[in-house]
Structures are given as structure tokens and as C-alpha cells.
Amino acid sequence: MFATRFAPSPTGYLHLGHAFSAWTAFDAAQSEQGRFILRIEDTDLTRCRPEFEAAIYEDLAWLGLTWESPVRRQSDHMADYEAALERLKALGLLYRCFKTRKELMEAIASAPHSFSGPEPVAPLPPSDEADQLATGKAYAWRLSLARSAAVIGADWDRLGFEANGQWVKADPGQLGDIVLARKEFPSSYHLASVLDDASQGITHVIRGEDLAEAAHIHVVLQKLLGLPTPIYRHHRLILDADGKRFAKRNQSVTLRSLRESGTSPALIRTSLGL
Ligand code: GLU
């Protein structure tokens, strides 16, 4: 059965971009007589807040959406993500990366060519790794694409997915060795999202085209973890008058401020071209 989801992170109030995304997924589920699932992606405990989660339910209900309950909150399932992380570690696919964001930025800035590719990271030789560990420095667990390719073998070149009705060959190299977890934090968006899409039986992932790149790495994770690959639909992004994406900090276009200003959901739908 067709099943899709809207998976916001409660790090701010929902805005017009979220409304477009949620409606796009909801409308697809309605027209396929399928399931519409709301999932709260709150693994980043430092940025997520309960009042934003409460606002998500309130704002989506105001838009007229209905969803299945209970709602899955990722923070309730950290042990599942950690177990998957351990499986990948046991396969030798993860390595510790001690580079800070600042160091990565500096490496990119000093590269001979203007750099727009994956971050310049690589596993350390074991003795260097031991030295770094001994300092107690923070680190991230990164997924090695080279080792993933070796484990997946001949199927590596056949990895791909359907997006917007077309077959796309996976090109995970464009994202490089992504961060799957941090020293004291067992999950990242990529791992939790892939695991939950599978455990919730999501057949169609419908989300903004800003996440189109992520699908290239999600198929790798699905293959490694023995999970099915859903069909992807990446929709256009809703931009502000300056052609920029709405940011959660931009208060004027939050659904609650629109509601307070007397706008109706029907008017918002029309203005979004739905
Ligand atoms: N939680 C993500 C966000 O709020 C959405 C991820 C997804 O749809 O896969 O941007």
C-alpha cells in the first residue's frame, strides 16, 4: 500500500515551505488512497524543543491535515539507531574523524581549486587514531564509501533509485564519507531517516529537492542494512521574494504568524500553487 511521510524537525516553527511539503505528501497519499505518516525527527537534542513539536501538531491540524497515530518520535528510538550503527561498525565500514568543522573549512579554503565536492576526510592510520583518542578529543563516525563499495561488491555499480519517475544511478561520491554519528551521539539524520522509512513501511519518500542529494547515500545505507529502497519524489522549493529558501528564523512566514494575521489555509494553498 502506498505510504508516504512528512518528517519535520522541531527546531523552529513550520513555515510556508513546510506547508508545501506536507500538503504535497498528504495530497499524494489521498490520491493513492494510501497512508500519510507524520514523523518527528528530533535526534538533535541540542536544537529540538518540545514547544516546536507541539506547534507542529497544531499548525498541521490547522492546515487540515490528518495523520496516523501514534506519531513516531525519533528520540524514543535511539537504541535502534545505535544498534544499526554497531552493525556497520562491526562490518568495518565506519571510521573516526577528529577534524573539527573549522579544520575542514580551512582545508577546503586552502585547496588549489575552488572546492565544492565532498569534505576532504579519510581514515587515520591506527597509531594516529590511538594518539587522537588518548587526547579525549571529540570525533564523528563517518561511513567509508571505499569500504562500503568493497562490501557491496558487484552490486555497487548497480545502485540507484527512482526519483520523479526516472531511474537515477547512485553517485554517493558527491557527498563523500558522511557523518553517521558522533562520539556521544548515536545517530544522524541519514541513519535515522533510512531506518525509520523502512520500519514504517514508507513506499514513497516525498520531500524537497534540497534533499535530492541525500538519496544517493541513502541507497548505500539501505543496501548495507538490507532495507528496501523507496521511490523518491523531490518537489520544488518554496522561495521568498528574494529567491531564497525560507529559514526557520524568518518569523514572518511561519504558519502561526500567518494564522494570527487572519490568513486561511485555503488562501495559503492557492498562493503555493496547490
Ligand atoms: N527532518 C528533515 C527536515 O526537517 C526532513 C528529512 C526528510 O524528509 O527526509 O528537513
CA of 7 relative to ligand 1 center, distance in Å: 5
Nearest-atom index, ligand 1, CA of 197:
9
Q: Whose CA is nearest to atom 6 of ligand 1?
A: 7
Q: Whose CA is nearest to atom 7 of ligand 1?
A: 7
- Where residue 104 falls among pLDDT bands split at 50, 70, 90? confident
Percent over 90 (pLDDT), the chain:
78
Phi, psi values for residue 94, rounded to 5°: -110, 150
Pocket test for ligand 1, best of 9, 53, 187, 195 (most atoms within 8 A of CB): 9
| Greater model confidence, 47 or 218 | 218
* Residue 7 CB–ligand 1 contact under 6 Å: yes
CA distance 107 to 228: 37
- Where residue 251 falls among pLDDT bands split at 50, 70, 90? low
pLDDT of residue 100: 81
Residue 112 confidence (pLDDT) above 60: no
Q: Give the three cell numbers for residue 166.
A: 526516472
pLDDT of residue 161: 98
pLDDT of residue 142: 95
Nearest-atom index, ligand 1, CA of 193:
9
pLDDT tens digit sequence for 231-240: 999 999 998 7
- As a whole number, mean pLDDT of residues 86-112 equals 84
CA of 129 relative to ligand 1 center, distance in Å: 33
- Where residue 102 falls among pLDDT bands split at 50, 70, 90? confident
pLDDT of residue 126: 87
Residue 162 confidence (pLDDT) above 60: yes
| 123 Cα distance to chain centroid | 24
CA distance 77 to 167: 32
Alpha-carbon distances of 89 from 48, 167, 215, 244, 256, rounded to whole Å: 27, 30, 22, 39, 43
* Residue 9 CB–ligand 1 contact under 6 Å: yes
Percent over 70 (pLDDT), the chain:
94
Q: Whose CA is nearest to atom 10 of ligand 1?
A: 8
